Amino acid sequence: MINLETPRKFRAFVNQAHQVAAEMLRPNSRRYDLAEHEYPVELDMLAAMVDGLGASGTGSGAGASGVRRTEADADGVVNGSNLSSVLSIMEMCWGDVGLLLSMPRQGLGNSAIASVASDEQLRRFDGVWAAMAITEPDCGSDSANIQTTARLDGDDYVLNGEKIFVTAGGRCDAVVVWATLDKTLGRAAIKSFVVMQDTPGMTVERLEHKLGIRASDTATIRFDNCRVPRENLLGTADIDKGFAGVMQTFDNTRPLVAAMAVGCARASLELTRELLSEAGAEVDYDRPVHLQPAAAATYLSMEADWEAAYLLTLQAAWMADNAQPNSLQASIAKAKAGRTANDVTLRCVELTGTLGYSEHQLLEKWSRDSKILDIFEGTQQIQQLIVARRLLGKTSAELK
């Protein structure tokens, strides 16, 4: 049975992540929001510190890396890398979402590698900062409609196509690219490939200007007869294995994005409560909601919504650690946390008035940052569709 307290072995690590967020990320939050596309040099020192914690056995990464399914202990349960990752990400995104997404060697592509790579690939790509390239100009939510092709030619796959909205695509060491081996075979032929940044034929076309997470670079990347060694194909090239191996990545990364949303929403709630208190609207947990000021009653409603998102995120990560199928729970957590973060951050701006809307506080920034958390790694609508398919026992062809 899941225990809702932070596991004892993770408490020191989670506290360290919170200290980093408070002392390094949040103080630099506004600076890199205004200086879009400027690389946050402070993160190099932070990445070195995270590597040191991992090497010493006192940490397992402060970002989106290291999520790999492990077999549950026959004598109990496992609190592993999935749970530690979501707990640390919550703390880091309490500091700043964009800076967390800019962390070296903590990209969503690292989660893809950790999820489906062979042991040999795990060793070979150890220490590589990997972005994830899925979305295309004509393929957004329907990832099965990918048009980027991968054609086997001797010992290489030749990639052709264009990817957009690649987080950290301009700064990373490598990109995990989704491509199809044969368009006529549909989703079963879609595989993922690790393409190193300096590979001929791979070009970063531009960096996008964005509403939020402005500290993180978001790239458009073109592949023009880009040759990738066949051993860089993640998992197996066997089409009979289908799309499930590639999609398993989402079961591990969606709880991570949910954790980002939970952390961002928590930051907004905490600051809003402070500002309400200063204005004389105290939140009293010992009084019924209807006997409290309207602002306090609204705050309590938001906090309850946040608590639900938090618990669902823990559940999805815990199930992955214990080798339990969590596709349904990962989508529920992502849908709930993404929507909650949007609602909470915007309502916090409303509750705090001019303080929330101006740049004197970070509330307006958090409301901008939160929007992407309901979009990438599967939109709100796609998550609801996945949940409906799982609950009703329908295939993607039967329920579109």
Compute CA distances 22 → 28, 89, 94, whole Å.
10, 13, 8
Tell me how far apart the alpha carbons of residues 123 and 115 are, in angstroms, rounded to a whole number.
Answer: 14
Close Cβ partners of 212 (under 8 Å, ≥ 6 residues apart): 97, 98, 365, 368, 369, 370, 371, 372
DSSP assignment, residue 141?
A: S
166 backbone dihedrals φ, ψ, rounded to 5°:
-90, 105
Tell me the CB-side half-sphere exposure of residue 235, using CA atoms within 13 A.
Answer: 25
Tell me how far apart the alpha carbons of residues 275 and 297 are, in angstroms, rounded to a whole number.
Answer: 15
197 backbone dihedrals φ, ψ, rounded to 5°:
-60, -35
Q: Are 229 and 306 in contact (CB under 8 A)?
A: no
DSSP assignment, residue 154?
A: T
Tell me how far apart the alpha carbons of residues 278 and 274 are, in angstroms, rounded to a whole number.
Answer: 6
Q: Are 50 and 59 in contact (CB under 8 A)?
A: yes
Q: Are 349 and 363 in contact (CB under 8 A)?
A: yes
Residue closest to 315 by CA, chosen among 97, 17, 79 = 79
Tell me how far apart the alpha carbons of residues 308 and 306 are, in angstroms, rounded to a whole number.
Answer: 5
Catalytic residue among 23, 38, 377, 398: 377
Q: Are 252 and 320 in contact (CB under 8 A)?
A: yes
Catalytic residue check, 42: no
Tell me how far apart the alpha carbons of residues 97 and 361 are, in angstroms, rounded to a whole number.
Answer: 16
Give the active site residues.
Answer: 377
